[in-house]
Structure 1
């Protein structure tokens, strides 16, 4: 029923598996390596058609400096921070309270409410493009940072609630009963008992939501116009020229846009792995 561990495979199968891993890694990293190398090329090389060879003249400082100064990239970056940080905090805070209520309290409609959170995760977001855009215009939050924050909090809370409800459900209910016997209120139980126990799950979920919101391009393009509230994903697309595209600048901007989410993953990697494996075994 379960896959056989690698150390129990036949010697030839293990050798073939170990040989295929570097090849699969290179194929997976090839697009990112191509973007990185392109960000180091000079405009003259690209005009000559040198797309795949190693750059003759490395234009590291020139390309990245121009990518930052040719467009308001720092403004886009700050907009992404203003959008992503409140969205992560708001969605996880609401989801933690909702997950605690759905996993702890028995009330009429509990199953239906939880099923609603689950079902909303399967709705294709593309069919909501026009209604959400019209709603943002009606409420006066179109092309604002606040509108994007409200949208991301609303859409990410469902997934976060599903994620956290299952984690809290695995905790021993005796801990909550013991806290109640000691006279602790429900808010104290939530903040002093539940939150410390699900800290790995909160860290893993924070990384996922941060990546989702920071890398969002579709909804940022639908709900913004101009440079006022545009995040960095839209700003990178703005590096394209009207008649020609400087792909070295676009690649440099893409690298700059991807750095925060990559750095956050590596800094929180330990907590991310712990959160994903939390509750996987008993003992």
Structure 2
């Protein structure tokens, strides 16, 4: 018995060590960016791993970003595109997942396979066709083009995750609500959605990060000065021969804040969603 407990203790300790190592590996680049964004250019190259001191501390990068660029505009564009896309993905994804998991109709299985195919095939393969479509619709250099693309990109994964969670909701709960005269819309919004909050948080985090960090579609569909996102706006500080590393690191530090805030806000629901999905 003691040997069994010792083996379990060693296994748990090894798991914790591996998870701690992975955490350090994942957070190290972010910490390195934040630390060097508060240092002078010389200090960045002399010792990039050192913390800022009274001699090396500098806010010149943030000053250049806020004064010499339209960072607030870029930040607002990214925020608008990300939030709008996220709301539409969660709303339409939850409604489609409810329809596929609750109602059995002819072609439902084919439709499910179609959404699964959308997960396997990267949307970037259709960049040329998407660009032609946006040109024909006069949506180039608009935030609407980015929102439409990101909604199409995020819906398949959202539908598959949410439908899996919805299938685990007891049928008796839904039938009881129907017997009480509750309509389908009220069942969906008042009964189903509160029960799948961990899944919604999981989808929100997994969907937000690719949208916020994307450079491909903003560069192709919205490269105009008034429609640039944060990731595209940062590129102006990167030159062929000279790169303003203070401004680059400062802008990256400001850009990573929304992702960290959202993760902290949804962390508990995210962990519940991942563990629930693993158990199921």
For the criterion TM > 0.5, the same-fold answer is: yes
Could you state the TM-score of these two structures normalised by the residue count of structure 1? Answer: 0.87
- In structure 2, what is the Cα distance between the partners aligned to 1:277 and 1:15? 19
Q: Name the CA shift for 1:107/1:27 in 2 (closer, same or farther; >3 Å).
A: closer
Q: Give the length in aligned residue pairs.
A: 275
- Which has the larger displacement, 270-279 or 154-163? 270-279
One of 142, 148, 151 as aligned partner of 1:150: 148
In the TM superposition, what whole-angstrom CA distance separates every residue of 1:131-174 from its partner, at most 9, and x where no partner exists? Answer: 11111111111110111111111221111111111110111112
SS in 2 for 1:228: coil
Instruction: Find the counterpart in structure 1 of residue 48 from structure 2.
Output: 52
Q: 2:131–2:221: 8 Å Cα contact kept in structure 1?
A: yes
Instruction: Find the counterpart in structure 2 of residue 129 from structure 1.
Output: 127
One of 112, 115, 125 as aligned partner of 1:114: 112
Could you state the TM-score of these two structures normalised by the residue count of structure 2? Answer: 0.88
In the TM superposition, what whole-angstrom CA distance separates every residue of 1:85-134 from its partner, at most 9, and x where no partner exists? Answer: 11000111001110000000010001000110011111123311111111
- In structure 2, what is the Cα distance between the partners aligned to 1:37 and 1:149? 33
The reply on whether 1:85 has 2:83 as its aligned counterpart is yes
Q: 1:66–1:249: 8 Å Cα contact kept in structure 2?
A: yes
Instruction: Find the counterpart in structure 1 of residue 247 from structure 2.
Output: 249
- In structure 2, what is the Cα distance between the partners aligned to 1:157 and 1:86? 13
Name the Cα RMSD after superposition. 2.5
How far apart are 1:66 and its partner, in Å? 1.6
Instruction: Find the counterpart in structure 1 of residue 266 from structure 2.
Output: 268
How far apart are 1:71 and its partner, in Å? 1.1
- Gap runs ≥5 in structure 2: none
Q: 1:176–1:189: 8 Å Cα contact kept in structure 2?
A: yes
Q: 1:121–1:158: 8 Å Cα contact kept in structure 2?
A: yes
- In structure 1, what is the Cα distance between the partners aligned to 2:95 and 2:117? 19
Q: Name the CA shift for 1:53/1:207 in 2 (closer, same or farther; >3 Å).
A: closer
Q: 2:34–2:253: 8 Å Cα contact kept in structure 1?
A: yes
In the TM superposition, what whole-angstrom CA distance separates every residue of 1:229-262 from its partner, at most 9, and x where no partner exists? Answer: 1111111122223531011211111111111011
More helix by share: 2
SS in 1 for 2:69: coil
Q: 2:65–2:71: 8 Å Cα contact kept in structure 1?
A: yes
- In structure 2, what is the Cα distance between the partners aligned to 1:77 and 1:252? 13
Q: 1:71–1:239: 8 Å Cα contact kept in structure 2?
A: no
One of 159, 168, 174 as aligned partner of 1:161: 159
One of 206, 209, 220 as aligned partner of 1:208: 206
- In structure 2, what is the Cα distance between the partners aligned to 1:188 and 1:36? 46
